[in-house]
Amino acid sequence: MKALTFSTFGNSDVLEYIEIPTPILKEEEILVEMRAIGLNFADVYRRKGNYHLKGNPPFIAGYEGSGVVVDTNNNPDFKIGDRIAFADVPFANAEFVAVPVSNVIPLPESISFETAATILLQGLTAHYLATDSHKTKIGETVLIHASAGGVGQFLTQISKLLGAKVIGLTSSKEKAEIALQNGADKVFLYSEDWKSQVLSFCPNGVDVVYDSIGSTLSDSFEVTKNCGQVVFFGMAGGDPDFINPRMLMDTSKTLTGGDLWSYLTSKEERIKRAHQLFDWINSNQITIAEPTVFKLSEGKQAHDYLESRKSTGKIILIP
């Protein structure tokens, strides 16, 4: 089979689209022929050598995708041709993937392969952020960093669905338009003294900030109300400052970490959370921007585009 691989760490030049052996199935695994694969910043971090990585060279990144079962490996719950998706299975950047049966998310006919690869990681992340990391209440005001990004767009829509007012932060007027189209009540630009603007719009501070930038963590606390919360779930802009516990005590603010793998802990959890997303999509309560599509063989260009920060929605790879 063909796969997008890398044998050394570095920029996108290390990526190679090469022939490697098709996976040999272990017990409780099925073989899936991939139809669409989600590209995420975590894959860039893996390529650079600064994120957890499984296997041996040539390494294969990717954890999210959808496809068709081509070998059930005698697992009675599946048949050849079943449509499935997954959000947390390694080595996804390949034509075939060995998928543990516990990680399989059945794909309804109403959800396309491309939609599944577009929504699962980012949509499930937004879902746990708004329902677990912070339990969003009607009437709250939430601040979302990178609100035009993949997680940001879902998080905006889910927060609105749960009754919150949403302030978005973006890096350009074009991205601000996207955030507004997704339902944000107000959007500010990072380049325009956003902290003063947030506090002008919400004088006592916001109820919760979702910070995926990292380097903005101290700023996020400055615009959070007393007894409010900051949810830290990414470092797209670099490492965060250290937070003084005395500040947390004096203001009764809370710092919460967020990682999707803490919540996708069972087959039942994966299916329940994914099907909540599917239901919202099928009922048009959540809308999805068209993904940017590259062939799997064009992985280098896809990585370059993701790192350029020009993308506003999801990038998917098609084998």
Q: Where are the domains of the chain?
A: 2-119+265-318, 138-257
pLDDT of res. 153 = 94
Q: Domain 138-257 carries which CATH code? A: 3.40.50.720
Mean pLDDT by groups of 10 residues along the chain of 319 residues: 96 96 96 97 90 90 97 96 96 98 96 96 96 97 94 96 98 94 97 97 97 96 98 89 95 95 93 96 92 96 88 87
2-119+265-318, CATH topology level: Quinone Oxidoreductase; Chain A, domain 1 (3.90.180)
- SS3 of the chain: CEEEEECCCCCHHHEEEEECCCCCCCCCEEEEEEEEEEECHHHHHHHHCCCCCCCCCCEECCCCEEEEEEECCCCCCCCCCCEEEECCCCCCCECEEEEEHHHCEECCCCCCHHHHHHHHHHHHHHHHHHHHHCCCCCCCEEEECCCCCHHHHHHHHHHHHCCCEEEEEECCHHHHHHHHHCCCCEEEECCCCHHHHHHHHCCCCEEEEEECCCCCHHHHHHCEEEEEEEEECCCCCCCCCCCCHHHHHHHCCEEEECCHHHCCCCHHHHHHHHHHHHHHHHCCCCCCCCCEEEEHHHHHHHHHHHHCCCCCCCEEEEC
